[in-house]
Amino acid sequence: MKILDRYIVQTFLASLAIVLAAMMGLSLILDMFINVNKFLDLRAAAREAGVWPILSGIAEYYFYKMFDYFQLEAAPSLLVAAAAALVRLNRARELVGIKAAGVSLYRVLWPMIAAALALDAFYVVNQELIIPAISAELARSPDDMEVRKEFSVDFIRDENNNIIYAPLYNPRTHEMLSQARLKDDGTPLFLARVRIFLRDSRFQPRGTIEAESARWDPQARGWRLAKGVRLPPLKEEQFLLRAPEGPEGDPVDFYATNIGPDDIQRHRAGDFYRYMAYGELRALAEDPVRTNRHQIQVSMHQHITGPIMNVLLLLLGLPFVAGREDRNYFASIGVAVGLGVGVYAVTFASNAFGNAGHVSPLLAAWLPVFIVLPASILSMEALRT
């Protein structure tokens, strides 16, 4: 790497560090402002556990959130950082000297583009490895720091193509529990039990496993069932309203699955699929029972188009902020921000049509690429070097 390349990369990376820190800091402050009421609700827990455990829980919550913020802000950060770096070079008249020496402006921009590609590689690693590994933490609610509330397990599909349901799940003990359903007068109506709906590779029912409770066994990688039985396929109206009166079915005391406590916590979020890797999304999108298949398929295809859009946005905006030395500094950064907003608007509209089923998920994910790619090529070709 030549001296010029090192200098340009250092200038760009310094600007990128500042821009990323500023944008992620603003996101953190905005998130805290939105969720301030939820944090205030932790006062009762703070009186019991102490202030420091609550503060450490909030710090841990936002530490994991930073990886999610990075995915959302990587593309505009690259363009704004490039604009800021070029502003610094213009202010010192260094670009004038470089061009006067016969160095093309393309030669100045390529080190920035190479550094952006390296950051884009981390974007892919973060998307496919880091975020799926911490998805349980990302799915947590801000008001669920120390006090882990019970919640239901709403029909989660596992690697065996089976569906897991539980009326209650205790995240502190890692236990799925039954729950009594009551009439209006308070008398018992029926007992909702832990249920595992068994299906074959074609999603056809093979039977049902029921139990009073199930506790996660991390060594065996499965659930230890209390009074578990296996039954033949049940009719739809029997899924929840059936109340067993005595011993029935074949006894089952263990169910091996890849769905553990972290996966249950992740699926608690309505948009849990945002935290899944491409392979997980592809397997989930093949399930015909899911009602949000369009959203999952759009998200799956965006795992490919997202890194491409990061680079295209940079190529689209660089000529606007580097083409003229007399451009106002703030105007250059404003153009970069405006282009980012415009590309995000196109992406958002395309996603909305894809999620609603008006266009195919594949087209919804790739349409912004088809729009921005020609514009990026024309923009780079029109650059005055």
Name the band, by pLDDT with cuts 50, 70 and 90, for residue 48: low
Q: Are residues 211 and 233 in the same domain?
A: yes
- Residues 122, 23, single domain; the answer is yes
Same domain? 131 vs 159: no
Confidence at 255, pLDDT banded by 50, 70, 90: very high
Q: Is residue 160 part of a domain?
A: yes
Above 60 in pLDDT, residue 237?
no
In a 3-state reduction of DSSP, which class is residue 198? strand
- Domain-located, residue 285: no
| CA dihedral of residues 145, 151, 154, 156 (deg, nearest 10) | 50
CA atoms within a 13 Å half-sphere pointing along the CA-CB vector of 325? 14
The residue among 208, 233, 268 that closes a domain is: 268
Amino acid at 57: G
Q: Is 131 found in the same domain as 12?
A: yes
Q: Are both 119 and 170 inside the same structural domain?
A: no
- pLDDT digits over 109-164, tens only? 888 899 999 999 999 999 999 998 888 788 777 666 554 678 888 888 888 889 99
Higher-confidence residue of 102 and 300: namely 300
Question: Considering only CA atoms, which of 9, 128, 19 is closest in space to residue 75?
Answer: 19
54 and 134 share one domain: yes
Residue corresponding to tokens 């496919």:
128
Residue 47 placed within a domain: yes
In a domain, 144, yes or no: no
Number of domains in the chain: 2
81, part of any domain: yes
Whether residue 298 sits in one domain with residue 227 = no
Q: Is the pLDDT of residue 36 over 70?
A: yes
Would you state the pLDDT for residue 189? 54
Domain that holds residue 76: 3-139+293-381
Q: Is 19 in the same domain as 129?
A: yes
Q: Do the domain assignments include residue 282?
A: no
First-to-final CA distance of the chain: 22
Tokens representing residue 221 in the block? 């990688």
Q: Strand, coil or helix: what is 161?
A: coil
| Same domain, residue pair 18 and 130 | yes
- Pull the structure tokens for residue 204: 């056809």
- Residue 283 counted as domain residue: no
Are 105 and 227 contained in the same domain?
A: no
Which tops the pLDDT comparison, 331 or 344? 344
pLDDT tops 60 at residue 21: yes
Q: Which of 233, 268, 303 is the C-terminal boundary of a domain?
A: 268
pTM of the predicted model as reported, rounded to 2 decimal places: 0.77
Q: Are residues 9 and 122 in the same domain?
A: yes
Domain boundary among 251, 268, 285: 268
Please indicate, yes or no, if residue 280 is contained in any of the structural domains.
no
Residues 184-206 pLDDT 10s: 665 555 567 899 999 888 888 88
C-alpha distances (whole Å) from 279 to each of 271, 296, 299, 369 are 17, 12, 12, 22
The answer to whether residues 297 and 193 belong to one domain is no
CB 182 within 8 A of CB 189: yes
Has residue 46 got a pLDDT over 90?
Answer: no
pLDDT at 192: 79
Task: Judge whether residue 94 has pLDDT over 60.
Answer: yes
Task: Give pLDDT, residue 361.
Answer: 92
| Secondary structure letter of residue 126 according to DSSP | I
- Which among 172, 192, 170 has a CA at the least distance from the CA of 181? 192
Reported as type and span, the H/E element at residue 152 is strand 151-157
The two structure tokens encoding residue 263:
């996966």
Backbone angles phi, psi at 326, to 5 degrees: -90, 5
Using CA atoms, how far apart are residues 27 and 34, in angstroms rounded to an integer? Answer: 11
pLDDT score of 145: 55
Structure token digits, residue 285: 């999108």
* Contact of 164 with 156, CB cutoff 8 Å: yes
